[in-house]
Each structure stands twice: as structure tokens, then as C-alpha cells.
Amino acid sequence: MDAHEKQKFRRFVATRSPELLHVAMLVGGGDQRVAEGLLRKALVKTARRWHRIDQPEAYVREMLCRRQTGRREPSRTPSSGDSTSAAELLIHGAPSAGPALPEAGPEQRVHGALKANAPRIRLSDDFAEQVYRSLRRRKARSSVVAGAVAAIVAAGVAVPLAVDGGGTREGPVAEFATPEVVARADQSPPRELVAAGRIAVSAYFTTKLVKQPDGDAIGTYEWSLFNAATERYEKTDWAWLDVAPGMRTAAVLERDLPVNRIGLLELGTGKVKRWIGVDKRVGGVQFSPDGKRLVATTYSLHPDGLFKDTSYRLNGRTVPGPKPSRTGYYVIDVASGRADFTDLPPRKNEREVGPTGGRQDLLWSLDGKLVWEPWGNKEGGIYYDVNGKEMPVPAQEASLPSPSGVLSRDGRLVTGDFVGEGEGIFSEVLDAKTGRRAALVPGQQLLAWADDNHLIAWRCDPEQCEPGKGEFRNQLLLISLDGKKTIPLSGFREAKLRYDGRWTPMLTQR
């Protein structure tokens, strides 16, 4: 930055940080300490890209809201993550083009409730100085790294993308054979099977906001499901679905959520082979990791509904708001159809900032012994046994560096966050035991492990990827841990965060 740009950035921090704190509070679960940390990181990244950003406030909001929708998409259903996406409302100040991503991060809070608490929410007195100190430290650290890399390049030494960050893995990342890959680099969304290793795209969804005559609105999922007979993705009319490991069966819910029955559909025929009836109305379902059970979350209202009578003011506009209406959950044995119900009303913020958003689905723990709900506590979620008793965080989950981390099958590695700086498009892979960096891989968002040495990720086109512009023009890639192999699995999505055709894959073990 030159002196003039620095002055503009400092003025931006001084004038816009108090308003942006409310967004960070939503993402951070109502914890102001966490919220200020998130906002500080977002402002530092904004400063580094300042000369290329036309709308810095929207850019900061987007980085904050990525924290909601950055979870694995979407089989561990909840993001970055949006019940007509509170995240998108916060970015753009207008009704969202779609509901929450099934994998949102911390639960969304009602923005209007935060507004009501505004007198009690103010930035720490030294917040701005913390931002400037962080920026100076990062600038110094970048200079040291750049100098080291320049020296290596000058010496003519090849630098692999996998970087030893002090983890416990010994020696360089080995070269591994590419797993079985079925790629459709010319298709977006895909029309035929996309797969790599043990993972396949079993379905994908798009979202749109459907306005209702009475001023309400519904965030609507539109699913395309893999048909094993035709080996193609076919549009369906199901309101919600989840595909079991093995990709033979999908649990489906009919339109007009919540509903009183769950269908078990065969992917080979596209037909429902059996219905499981329930007394309480269901709005979301998810298979356990072994595919033998379902957790079905129940609601009294549409979980993705937005209602006129809970409208609030956002950026000078009145928008409909969500109503938390969860009543509990069923744990269902798939083979017998036995369904055991547990009451679980919608959870409210302990700091009384306001209730969470409409969809609050229960998810399975990694070992399938507990269910959990995403939450803005330090663990990232609250866990229950199948009878509703609150339980400690399982050891495997507690060891993850963040709730969005995805463990490799052998348990050695876990996906980390996007860490790209400047022109770089990199995310880190961490040692699961120490939390130290084990590798850098060329991806924006790491979604799943194709095997223990290859990842499926989103990445934008490096030649067209500019912060605030081309970063949403991304495609599915298969990436090796050493960073030397990148195989396009799909075509590119459009360079827009919101449009009705923007598709999100469901990744399932095949």
C-alpha cells in the first residue's frame, strides 16, 4: 500500500469495523472474543488485497461468512454454510438465492437480535491497533519466506508444493499412484458420474428462494441424484435427501417440509423400495457412517422457511427472517424401521444474542456412536447420545484443529484452512496428532480424501482468480499431497457467489 491507500484502509477500519463486528458475532456464535479474532484476520487479508478490491466491506463480509459454509459439503449436513442464507444476507443485504449449505459452520444467529443488543456490543479499545500489528507481523514473515524461496530458486533447486511444517511425518511426501478417477472436466454441473478413489459425487443440489404470496419465502433445494442404471445424474423432485455409503440407497423426503415419512430409494432403479412412517414431522435426514441408521431431525415449521412476521431491517431493507422450530430427532434403524424419538427444542445462544436460524439438523459423529449439532462453542458443536443425553466431545473430534477438518482414512492427516497469500492458491494439510503443517496443496477448499494421499478440493482458475472477482469460478480437482498432480474432475462454476444454477456436490463413499 502507498500512503494514500493506507489512509483509506485505516479510515475503513475505523468506520466499518463496528458494523462488521455484528457479522462476526453471527459467525462466531455470539462470542465477542472469537468474533474480534475472525474480524481481525479478515481485515488483515483485505489489506493485503486492497488495491484489487472494489467493495472492501462486501469482501470482508464474504470472508467472515465463509466460516459458516466452510464445512464438508454436504454429507455432514448442517457452512460457511444458510436458511436462506443468513450468510448471503449478511454479504449482500438482500434476500438470499438459496438456503443454508447442509454443512454450515457455527449456527447462524438472527441479525435483528444482534441489532437489538448493539448498545452492549462494542469493539475493544485497542482493536484497530491489533489489526495493524497483525498486518506488520505478517508482512515481516512474508518477507522472510519470500527471501528463502528466492535463494532456493537461485540455487536451481526444485521446490515441491508439499512443505514440511515440523510435523511428525518423516521424509518427503512420497509419490503415489493416482487412484481410480472418473473425470468430467467439460461438465458443470456434471451429467455423468464423477469419482476419484473411494469417493464419488452421489448427488448435487442447487438452491433458490421461492417467494410466497403472504410475504414469506422458502429456501428451496433442487437435487440431481446419480442413477446407477443410466450412470447419469437425474433431476428429482425430492425436497431433501442423503445417500448411504456404498451408493445403493438414498433417504428422501417429499416436498412441503416437514413430512411424516422417509423414503428409502434404490439408486439402481430410481424408485422408493420402502417408506418409514413417523409421528413427528421430519425436515432433514442423514445416514450414519456405516449406513445402518438414520438421524432424522423434526420440526414444527419448514426448516428453510423465512417468515414475514419475523422480518428485520438489514442494510436499510426489510427482509423475512427464520423461525427456529426444531422439536427433536429420531434415530432410525434402517433394516427394521424402528424409530426412537428424543425431544430437543431449538438451542438458544447462552449470551442471549438471539435464537439460531431455522434449520438445525442433527449430524452423526465420526464413529457413528453419538449425534451432534454445530454450535459456536470452542469445540464447534454439542454432542448427545442417541437418548438425548449431552456427552463430552469424542476424542477423535476433539483432536481436530477445527470442526471443518476432514480426517484421512488412516487418521494421520487432517485438512486445514485456506492459507493462500497474494497470488497463491493453497490450503494446508495438518498432522492430526500435533496440528502442525504436513503439506501445502493447491486448493481453495479441501472437501474429502479420495485415499490417504489424494484430496478432492475446490479451486479457482489461477489465471483468472482475483479476490472479489474470479475466486468463485472454481472446479472440483483431485490433488496429490505432494502438489504435483492436479486432475480436473468437473468443469468450472460461474464466477458468482449467488445464481440459481450454482451447484454443490454431495460426496459419498462408493
Residue from 299, 301, 320 nearest 112 by CA: 320
Of 106-110, 112-116, 317-321, 360-364, the one with minimum mean pLDDT is 106-110
Q: Grid coordinates in use for 229?
A: 442404471
- pLDDT band at residue 294, thresholds of 50, 70 and 90? very high
Q: Compute the average pLDDT of residues 146-166.
A: 31
DSSP track, 332-378? EETTT--EEEEE-PPPB-TT-S-BB-S----EE-TTSS-EEEE-SST
Q: What is the pLDDT of residues 372-381, one digit of tens each?
A: 998 766 667 8
Q: Which residues contact 246 (CB under 8 A, 6 or more apart)?
A: 291, 509, 510
Q: Compute the average pLDDT of residues 98-127.
A: 49
pLDDT for res 132:
76
Cross-strand pairs, 476: 458
The pTM for the full model equals: 0.66
How distant, in Å, are the alpha carbons of 92, 266, 357, 444, 496 from that of 55? Answer: 11, 47, 27, 21, 15
Residue 239, pLDDT > 60, answer yes
Which DSSP category does 259 fall into?
E
What is the distance between the alpha carbons of residues 314 and 86, in angstroms, rounded to a whole number?
A: 11
- pLDDT band at residue 357, thresholds of 50, 70 and 90? low
CB-CB contact of 113 with 353 (8 Å): yes
What is the distance between the alpha carbons of residues 399 and 412, in angstroms, rounded to a whole number?
A: 11
Of 320-324, 380-384, 422-426, 492-496, the one with minimum mean pLDDT is 422-426
Most confident listed range (8-12, 28-32, 89-93): 8-12
Average pLDDT score over the chain: 77
Q: Compute the average pLDDT of residues 466-483.
A: 84
pLDDT for res 356:
45
Which DSSP category does 36 fall into?
H
How distant, in Å, are the alpha carbons of 41, 411, 486 from that of 437? Answer: 19, 15, 20
Contacts 24+ apart (CB under 8 A), 34-38: 34/376, 36/123, 36/124, 36/127, 36/130, 38/64, 38/67
Residue from 186, 183, 236 nearest 206 by CA: 236
Looking at the chain, the whole-number percentage of residues with pLDDT higher than 90 is 41
- pLDDT band at residue 254, thresholds of 50, 70 and 90? very high
- pLDDT band at residue 136, thresholds of 50, 70 and 90? low
Q: Grid coordinates in use for 77?
A: 449436513
- pLDDT band at residue 6, thresholds of 50, 70 and 90? confident
Say which residue, 133 or 80, is predicted with more confidence.
Answer: 133
Residue 509, pLDDT > 90, answer yes
- pLDDT band at residue 326, thresholds of 50, 70 and 90? very high
Residue 185, pLDDT > 90, answer yes
- pLDDT band at residue 488, thresholds of 50, 70 and 90? very high
Q: Compute the average pLDDT of residues 171-184.
A: 59
Q: What is the pLDDT of residues 187-229, one digit of tens each?
A: 999 999 999 999 999 999 999 889 998 899 998 999 999 999 8
Q: Which residues contact 54 (CB under 8 A, 6 or more apart)?
A: 468
20: exposed, middle or buried (Cβ count in 10 Å: 0-12, 13-18, 19+): buried
Residue from 418, 428, 421, 466 nearest 138 by CA: 421
